[in-house]
Amino acid sequence: MAIVKDVTPEQIETLRGRVDFYMLRGILPVARRWPKKPKPPYTELQAEGMAVFAKANKSMRRIKTNILEAWRALSYGKRASWTDAYRGIAMKYWKLTKTFPLIGLNYEVIKTSTTVAVKWEILKMSLIYGVAEEVYFEQTNPVSLSVINKAVKPVYFTLMDDEGRRQVAPFIKYLDE
């Protein structure tokens, strides 16, 4: 990145596509090398990674208000935004398993006089073209309130697969009411 002192519109037009001119923080004119996008043909792994990233981005539009608020609460005071965390979980899961993770679309905390459980609305997507996506509900096993009262506070719930890998869902903070 370089600070620009004097540049004409003709020079900007001549360097278009190779040098990016912009205002840093809205006050300082600077120039940097134009970012390069990889050109096709991509490797098979690059193409699959791009597809996972695109699916993760598209799925963000489908999450409900409860989940959105939980994601935002998790990112409060942190450098990365909730969208970065969301994409990061999806990409890490894909890197480990080569499958797309489950996505928590909504949740509901179900509290009885003796137990607490979380009911999740889950989106299951596939990376294979033509395979239909599926939305279903799943409830966690009820946890006794006496166990929660003995646990170190705060208590969080989230979605995990059978091997204990995190799915694309925020940590839901359980609050005693």
Which pLDDT tens digit goes with each residue over 109-157? 999 999 999 999 999 999 888 899 999 999 998 999 999 888 888 888 8
Look at residue 39 and tell me if it is in a domain.
Answer: no
Same domain as 168, residue 90? yes
Shared domain check, 119 and 63: yes
Burial (CB < 10 A; 0-12, 13-18, 19+), residue 154, is exposed
pLDDT tens for 73-102 read 888 888 888 999 999 999 999 999 999 999
14 and 85 part of one domain: no
Residue 128 lies in a domain: yes
Domain that holds residue 18: 2-33
| 59 and 127 inside one domain | yes
Q: In the chain, how many domains are there?
A: 2
Q: Are 82 and 151 members of one domain?
A: yes
AA letter at 51: A
Instruction: Say yes or no: 101 and 135 in one domain.
Output: yes
The pTM score is 0.73
